[in-house]
Structure 1
Amino acid sequence: MQTAPRRKLSDLFNRDEIALLTERSDWAGWRAVLFTWGVIALCFVLLAWQPHPLMWLAVLAVLGGRQLSLAILMHDAAHGTLFKRRWLNEVLADYVCGSPINVDIKRYKRHHLIHHSKTGTGEDTDLSLAAPFPTTRASLARKFLRDLCGISGLKREYGLLLMHLGLLRWTVANDIERLPQQGRRWHDYARDAARNMWKYLAFHAVLLGVLAAAGHAWLYLAWVGAYLTTYGLYMRIRSMAEHACTEQSTDMLRNTRTTRAGLLARATVAPLRVNFHIEHHLMPAVPYHRLPAMHAMLRARAARCKRRPVIWTFCAWYASGKKK
């Protein structure tokens, strides 16, 4: 594995640029949260209005993307960038973004920050997500088929249940590490389950209650269906896009990938500018809505690099044309 020193932000941006890029906004956070939940509500309304099989397919596709959007919102809140106020990041986002997808923001934060500090090394907590790639087309097709059939989703939920019970170490990757169980009794498992799952169960009770009060309790199946199928598929594609088949290096310009994302991608596998992943790893303190500006600044510097060799140390990777 290539070992490279971590790049200093002062070598890439001046102090004013860093201050501008890292400025957070409660309004931008609320806008993203309300838009995500607004689309979710619209999906339920459209399906209640026209429960046609084609509508079911469209809703499952869109709902899976909005569930991934909730995961990205929770991810940004774990970095403290979704909102300006700390309480909104640590508490509100946990309830309205993390709980619906069965992820506790505190545990996720501990896991994810190691991924950032150890990206591309053997200690990377997300290494198992990229390790299976490259793979054959047949293998990838089987993975996608398991996702769309709900098999992967059921396995994911079973694994999360074991983590909530304290049987496995918590992770959002594919690693399985059993925890010692000596001396534990049934009430220990019940206590851990109640502590780790009550917000998740409360969300489902509220969602089902609201849909039932509206006279359409059956719409709950759409949420569960998307959660077990398209959500898992989009998560797999997202993790592949970010780190799969990149160089095994500690250089975040080589172990991470930024991808283009059109309207369809932003609705499914790349919500909330998460496709600007190199930028995110370079400066995790940048809120989602400022990542395109950061990307444009980096590309402008890369273009100037071709004419000004004196700054080639910053731009060599960009000037090589290996990644966009």
Structure 2
Amino acid sequence: MTTLQRPKDFFSDAEIEQLRQHSPWRSAYALLHCWGVIVATWVVVGIWTNPLTVLLGIFIIGARQLGLGVLSHDGAHFALSRNRKLNDWLSEWVLSRPFTSGTIYGYRKYHLQHHAFTQQPEDPDLHLSKPFPISKTSFRRKVWRDLSGQTGWKQYGAMFSDAFKGETTGQALKNGWRRFGPNIVINLFILAGFILAGKWYLYFLLWWVPALTWNRFVTRLRNIGEHAAVPDDNDRLRNTRTIEANWLERAFIAPYGVNYHLEHHLVVNAPWYNLKRAHQMLIEKGFLEQMEVQPNYKAMLAVAVPSDAAIEFLNEPGVLMRIAVVRADGSPLVTPIWFLHEAGSIYFTPREKSAWFACLRRDPRVSLCIDEQPLPYRKVIVEGAAELVFDVGADDQWRDLYQRTAQKYVGEQGAQAYVQNTIDQPRGLFKVVLDNAKVTSWRMPLETEDGMGIWHDRYYVPGTHFE
């Protein structure tokens, strides 16, 4: 059930051709600029080595490591050079192998699936965006893991462990060398350069520390910015986000036009330097009001990482939701049900023969009440319209979501058994998009707080503390 539009719905054939035009000089500049910034940082910090220059170098190089990935991503779309052999050679040997990536072919096959099924169940990158929005507490934990190197150590460790596998030690070494041998050789040359300069330790401080820390953090910001907590998974202008990054964000977070992601999805093989022009074209055509655009990364995070309290409550295990629907005679029907909160929507799965499923087919209006019995009596009330995402008979397309819902209430092992025991009972999948609904929330104050209402200002009295 999608309404994904075609690029030709937004641009003429001539405009698409214009946006796809390559400039060998712009591509060469980008490659030289990215590596030039990295090498210049090495030289400057090598001459003036102190904690401040090393710290600044980590930020600069971590961002340029992302830049290497961004330009390699252009190569996956044949947007580095008109000559495809040169395009792939540059992608692999200039942009990917000096870091941890390998050939472009596997990534290209994987990544084109993301473009074919953006924000759909078949999207291989859906796991990056589907948990959002998340609480600020959860986000702070992720940021700490990124900046402390835990995320990078885990990811790179898994990458190397997976590469060096085989039935025998010899086979494992052969497999690992096939995957990472060129990367290791290139990095030995880089290390040799630092040793000759008498600064061997800067290889680790200004190559691997950025890779393990700042690069992991800005890569996370990039992933969140592109598709997390978008307004409509089925609309090309709203299932992908563009962020109008300022110069500081472009320097340290979003190099080489990566912030123009919506435009990239509309014309996938447009080189990075043409994406800003695509953005301007869309504005000139009057599409801005329909587009998911944020003015900066701070504004984007306000959407993807809202206030802790209500979001954490919606994600707590075991909390039931009561759904009120409208019967044919206009009277209400209230049913306690399981639900799942993901990507800014509340999902639920009525059985085909349930009375409230029939009511939803006839009238999508709903009122949802999620609350708790003990203090502080937290509650969230949602009034809106339910959208049928998948009708009966399409269960296999969203069974993973069904299992995650069950896991929230009966744990992982119980969820597997529950799904297996109820798999022959056809269900539909509905969602209520919170951005399109009226949402109110409230709780009683804690012992250390004054006032009556906490989450909603209609309960305001002098001394109330709001979150």
TM-score range, shorter chain: 0.7 to 0.9
Distance 1:122 1:321, change over 3 A: closer
Pairing 1:79-228 to 2, within 5 Å after superposition: 79-104=77-102, 105-165=104-164, 184-221=167-204, 222-228=206-212
Q: For each residue in 1:127-165, what CA deviation from the matched residue of structure 2 results, as whole angstroms up to 9, or x when unmatched?
A: 111122211111111111111111111001111113323
Cα deviation 1:263-310 (Å, max 9, x = unaligned): 1111122110010000000110110111111110000001xxxxxxxx
Superposed CA deviations along residues 3-36 of structure 1, whole A, max 9, x for unmatched, are 113x233332222212211011221111101000
Listed as ranges, the gaps of 5+ residues in structure 1 are: 167-180, 303-314
TM-score w.r.t. the length of structure 1 is 0.86
1:300 match: 284
Once the two structures are superposed, the pairs formed by residues 257-296 of structure 1 within 5 Å of their partners are 257-296=241-280
Distance 1:322 1:35, change over 3 A: closer
Between 266-275 and 12-21, the greater mean CA deviation after superposition: 12-21
Q: Structure 1 38/129 Cα, relative in aligned 2: closer, same or farther at 3 Å?
A: same
Seen in structure 2, the aligned counterparts of structure 1 residues 247 and 189 have a Cα distance that, compared at 3 Å, is farther
Alignment of 1:59-74 (within 5 A): 59-74=57-72
Q: 1:34 aligns with which of 32, 35, 59?
A: 32
* Distance (whole Å) between structure 2 residues aligned to residue 101 and residue 59 of structure 1: 17
C-alpha contact 2:117 2:123 (8 A) present in aligned 1: yes
How many residues matched?
A: 292
Query: Percent identical across equivalent pairs?
Result: 34
Aligned Cα root-mean-square deviation (Å): 1.7
- Decide which of 10, 13, 17 is 2:11's aligned counterpart: 13
Q: Is the 8 A contact 1:120 1:248 kept in 2?
A: no
Per-residue CA deviations over 1:213-255 (Å, capped at 9, x if unaligned) read 2332222022111011000000001100001111452322121
Deviation at 1:321, TM superposition (A): 6.9
Q: Which amino acid aligns with 2:39?
A: A
2:22 to 13, 21, 24: 24
Letter aligned with residue 323 of structure 1: V
Rate the CA distance shift 1:194–1:299 in 2: closer, same or farther, 3 A.
same
Q: How does 1:219-258 map to 2 (within 5 A)?
A: 219-221=202-204, 222-247=206-231, 249-258=233-242
Distance in 1 of aligned mates of 2:87 and 2:161: 27
The CA distance in 2 between the partners of 1:72 and 1:321, in whole Å, is 23
2:69 partner letter? A
Q: Report what 1:176 is aligned to.
A: none
Contact between 2:239 and 2:292, CA under 8 Å: does it hold in 1? Answer: no
Deviates more, 1:98-107 or 1:247-256: 247-256
Conservation of the 8 A alpha-carbon contact between 1:4 and 1:249: no
Cα pair 1:28 1:83 within 8 Å, conserved: no
SS at match of 2:119: coil
CA distance in structure 2 between the partners assigned to 1:142 and 1:8 by the alignment: 39
CA contact (8 A) 1:120 1:255 kept: yes
Higher-strand-fraction structure: 2
* Residues 46 and 199 in structure 2, CA contact (< 8 A), matched pair in contact too: yes
1:323 to 293, 309, 322: 293
Instruction: Tell me the distance in 1 between the aligned counterparts of 2:90 and 2:289.
Output: 42
Q: Is the CA contact (8 Å cut-off) linking 1:133 and 1:245 kept in structure 2?
A: yes
Amino acid at match of 1:233: F
Corresponding residue for residue 76 of structure 1:
74
Counterparts of 2:87 and 2:270, CA distance in 1 = 14
Deviations 1:49-81 (A, max 9, x none): 111111111111111000000010111111110
Whether contact under 8 Å (2:244, 2:293) holds in the other structure is: no
Greater C-alpha radius of gyration? 2
Q: Which runs of 4+ in 1 moved over 4 A?
A: none
| Letter of the structure 2 residue corresponding to residue 135 of structure 1 | I
Aligned partner of 1:203: which letter? Answer: I
Q: Is the contact made by 1:82 and 1:288 (CA closer than 8 Å) also made in structure 2?
A: no
Relative distance call for 1:12 and 1:322 in structure 2 (3 A) is: closer
- Shift of the alpha carbon at 1:47? 0.8
Q: Partners in 2 of 1:41 and 1:320 — Cα distance?
A: 42
What amino acid is aligned across from residue 299 of structure 1 in structure 2? Answer: I
Give yes or no for contact 1:152–1:228 (8 Å, CA) kept in 2.
yes
Amino acid at match of 1:15: D
The 1:321–1:21 alpha-carbon spacing in structure 2 relative to 1, beyond 3 Å, is closer
The answer to which of 216-225 and 62-71 deviates more is 216-225
* Cα separation, 1, equivalents of 2:29 and 2:229: 34
Q: Report the equivalent of 1:172.
A: none
In the superposition, relative to structure 1, how do residues 21 and 137 fare at CA in structure 2: closer, same or farther (>3 Å)? same
Using the alignment, how far apart are the partners of 2:293 and 2:57 within structure 1? 34
Counterpart residue identity of residue 225, structure 2: A
Q: In the aligned structure 1, how far is the partner of 2:105 from the partner of 2:258?
A: 20
Q: Measure the CA separation in 2 of the matches of 1:256 and 1:218.
A: 41
CA distance in 2, matches of 1:95, 1:320: 40
